[in-house]
């Protein structure tokens, strides 16, 4: 298992093609724009070596029996599922940001299950192939970017109906030694600072979409892979110093990128689905369930930081005992812990799949994520309420550091006398970072937008059974248990 520093060093061995602001980034490990995201991902490596955290951060490989980073582990029990979300909360709390590595983990787990199922039906050898790849990932402790979302073009059309056939990643050539793929994946978390990219289909496919039913893995610097690092609100503050960012060390959300596959060759040993369109839906659903399971862990860890910042600013402002402040902080805790309950519940209610891997309860995982499309907006609103309007009007770090103006800012941004002004500004900026900007849309759309969760919830709501219960309670259908209690049961 790599340590944090070793992970950062390992990135130097890769030469991905990454563009940002019209220029090519020469070294991912050394770019100040990428640094916070690299640091956050590095924490997934570093904490695995800390005796205080290794119980949730590590696992035993079911393939090799070796101790591995949990981010490369296939869940072998419901306890593994629970430990995964505990790991998410821990890292959310430690970084106050997205640590990116869960997407690759979820892609590995989803492929483990679906490759097994494809082989059962078609007699293919995807699962064995995939297990070899998984062993490689585990042994080298690699970070994989899970790349699912296609750019989609006209959303009303299926992949094969698009005016431009490259709107979904597809196979453009089948060779003896592998396939050639073309297309693009959008919003891919941690892509530029990963070692590998694992691409999965993004939707259910029909027979005519056969070429789009493709799953594969390539190194981030495979020939033909071009990435565009996405802009974030206030991203250039990173170049000004460490205060205005709010979270200069770990940034905010995952540092997402657009990945273009410009006729990329993939050898057969890295192809895990190729044309089995009838399994695209299962793969998407399985991945989505794993990924939606996470959000009551990571986002609640981040909420821990926001709640702490809100409590701290109340203290710095001298209002920590005001009843409305206590009430708002309590409400934030309630919202966050409700989401935590959801993540734990879907994990404890997980089940064993035919492949042997465990996966979370599908309905509850979707409920978890749907809450995350709402509750972070509310806890962010409460944080903004507590911090006050200064969250949007604080003078810049450069003015604060300017010897000509520093004294004035020191004096007039002061809160309680015993709290340094800089501490107050730092906490205000942290609240700004966590409650304004990329964090909220990520809660909304990461792991799928609310409509996607609603579809899954509706599909699993089992309204017929609920109607039956209602009719029984209302006296429309017979209630045999009640009849026995009242001694009214039918005599045979």
CB of residue 485 vs another protein: minimum separation in angstroms?
A: 17
Q: Is 135 exposed, middle or buried (0-12, 13-18, 19+ CB in 10 A)?
A: middle
- Single out the catalytic residue among 46, 397, 432, 442: 442
- Single out the catalytic residue among 102, 245, 339, 346: 102
Phi/psi for 170 (5° steps) reads -145, 165
CA dihedral (59, 65, 66, 69) positive or negative: negative
**DSSP string spanning 254-274?**
T--EEEEEEEEEEEGGGEEEE
Sole window of 123-131, 313-321, 346-354, 400-408 interacting with another protein (rule: CB under 8 A): 346-354
Residue 245 is a catalytic residue: no
The residue written with tokens 């206030």 in the block is 234
Residue 442 is a catalytic residue: yes
3-state class of 426 per DSSP?
Answer: helix
Establish if 349 lies at the interface with another protein (CB under 8 A).
yes
Tokens of 380: 């962010």
Query: 119-148 mask for another protein (x: CB under 8 A)?
Result: ------------------------------
41 and 7 in contact (C-beta within 8 Å)?
yes
- Single out the catalytic residue among 291, 342, 368, 373: 291
Establish if 352 lies at the interface with another protein (CB under 8 A).
yes
Tokens of 190: 């941690």
**Which of 361, 394, 435, 443 is close enough to bind another protein by CB under 8 A?**
361
**Which of 50, 468, 481, 489 is close enough to bind another protein by CB under 8 A?**
468
Burial annotation 430-442 (CB, 10 A radius, 16+ → b, else e): bbbbbbbbbbbeb
Cα 22 to Cα 17: distance, rounded to the nearest angstrom: 13
**Which of 246, 350, 376, 415 is close enough to bind another protein by CB under 8 A?**
350
Sole window of 230-238, 300-308, 344-352, 396-404 interacting with another protein (rule: CB under 8 A): 344-352
CB of residue 353 vs another protein: minimum separation in angstroms?
A: 9
Task: Report strand pairing: 23-24 vs 358-359.
Answer: unpaired
312 and 427 in contact (C-beta within 8 Å)?
yes
Sole window of 23-31, 287-295, 309-317, 460-468 interacting with another protein (rule: CB under 8 A): 460-468
Cα 127 to Cα 120: distance, rounded to the nearest angstrom: 10
CB of residue 348 vs another protein: minimum separation in angstroms?
A: 9
Burial annotation 391-406 (CB, 10 A radius, 16+ → b, else e): beebbebeebeeeeee
Nearer CB in complex with another protein: 137/364: 364
Cα 378 to Cα 86: distance, rounded to the nearest angstrom: 23
Establish if 467 lies at the interface with another protein (CB under 8 A).
no
Cα 257 to Cα 216: distance, rounded to the nearest angstrom: 18
Rg of the chain over Cα atoms, rounded to whole angstroms, equals 25
**Which of 233, 330, 462, 483 is close enough to bind another protein by CB under 8 A?**
462
The residue written with tokens 């970070």 in the block is 143
CB of residue 351 vs another protein: minimum separation in angstroms?
A: 4
220 and 194 in contact (C-beta within 8 Å)?
yes
Query: 408-447 mask for another protein (x: CB under 8 A)?
Result: ----------------------------------------
**Which of 351, 416, 458, 471 is close enough to bind another protein by CB under 8 A?**
351
Establish if 282 lies at the interface with another protein (CB under 8 A).
no
Residue 291 is a catalytic residue: yes
Residue 127 is a catalytic residue: no
Nearer CB in complex with another protein: 104/350: 350
**Which of 465, 474, 475, 492 is close enough to bind another protein by CB under 8 A?**
465
Residue 98 is a catalytic residue: yes
Nearer CB in complex with another protein: 462/483: 462
Sole window of 101-109, 317-325, 347-355, 445-453 interacting with another protein (rule: CB under 8 A): 347-355
Ordered strands of the 196-199 beta sheet: 144-147, 196-199, 214-219, 271-274
- Single out the catalytic residue among 109, 298, 342, 346: 298
Establish if 460 lies at the interface with another protein (CB under 8 A).
yes
Catalytic residue numbers, as ranges: 98, 102, 189, 256, 291, 295, 298, 442
Which residues sit at the interface with another protein, rule CB under 8 A?
349-352, 361, 460, 462, 465, 468
């Amino acid at each position: 298992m790599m340590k944090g520093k070793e992970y950062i060093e390992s990135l130097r061995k890769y030469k991905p093609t990454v563009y940002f602001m019209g220029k090519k980034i020469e070294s991912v490990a050394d770019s100040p724009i990428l640094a916070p995201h690299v640091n956050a991902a590095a924490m997934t490596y570093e904490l695995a070596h800390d005796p205080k955290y290794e119980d949730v951060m590590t696992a035993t490989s079911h393939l090799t029996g070796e101790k591995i980073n949990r981010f490369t582990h296939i869940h072998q029990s419901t306890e593994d599922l629970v430990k995964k979300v505990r790991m998410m909360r821990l890292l959310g709390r430690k970084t106050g940001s997205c640590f990116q590595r869960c997407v690759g983990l979820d892609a590995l787990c989803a492929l483990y299950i679906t490759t097994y199922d494809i082989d059962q039906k078609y007699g293919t050898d995807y699962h064995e192939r995939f297990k070899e790849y998984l062993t490689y990932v585990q042994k080298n402790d690699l970070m994989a970017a899970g790349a699912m979302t296609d750019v989609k073009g006209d959303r009303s059309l299926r992949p094969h109906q698009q005016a431009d056939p490259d709107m979904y990643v597809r196979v453009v050539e089948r060779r003896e030694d592998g396939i050639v793929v073309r297309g693009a994946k959008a919003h891919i978390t941690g892509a530029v600072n990963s070692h590998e990219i694992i691409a999965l289909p993004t939707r259910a496919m029909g027979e005519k979409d056969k070429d789009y039913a493709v799953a594969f893995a390539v190194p981030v610097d495979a020939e033909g892979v071009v990435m565009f690092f996405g802009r974030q609100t206030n991203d250039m503050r990173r170049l000004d110093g460490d205060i205005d960012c709010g979270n200069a060390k770990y940034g905010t959300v995952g540092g997402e990128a657009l990945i273009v596959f410009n006729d990329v060759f993939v050898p057969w040993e890295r192809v895990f689905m190729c044309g089995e369109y009838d399994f695209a839906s299962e793969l998407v659903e399985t991945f989505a369930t794993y990924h939606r399971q996470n959000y009551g862990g990571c986002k609640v860890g981040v909420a821990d930081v926001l709640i702490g910042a809100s409590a701290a600013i109340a203290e710095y402002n001298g209002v920590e005992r005001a009843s409305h402040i206590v009430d708002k902080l309590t409400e934030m805790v309630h919202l966050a812990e409700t989401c935590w309950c959801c993540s734990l519940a879907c994990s404890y209610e997980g089940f064993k799949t035919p492949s042997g891997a465990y996966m979370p309860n599908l309905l509850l995982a979707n409920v978890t994520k749907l809450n995350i499309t709402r509750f972070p907006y509310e806890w962010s609103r409460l944080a903004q309420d507590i911090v006050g309007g200064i969250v949007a009007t604080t003078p810049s770090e450069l003015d604060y550091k300017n010897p000509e103006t520093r004294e004035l800012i020191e004096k007039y941004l002061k809160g309680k006398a015993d709290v340094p002004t800089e501490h107050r500004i730092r906490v205000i900026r942290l609240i700004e970072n966590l409650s304004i900007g990329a964090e909220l849309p990520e809660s909304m759309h990461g792991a799928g937008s609310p409509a996607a969760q609603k579809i899954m919830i509706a599909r699993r709501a089992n309204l017929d059974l609920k109607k039956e219960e209602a009719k029984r309670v209302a006296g429309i259908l017979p209630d045999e248990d009640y009849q026995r209690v009242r001694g009214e049961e039918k005599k045979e």
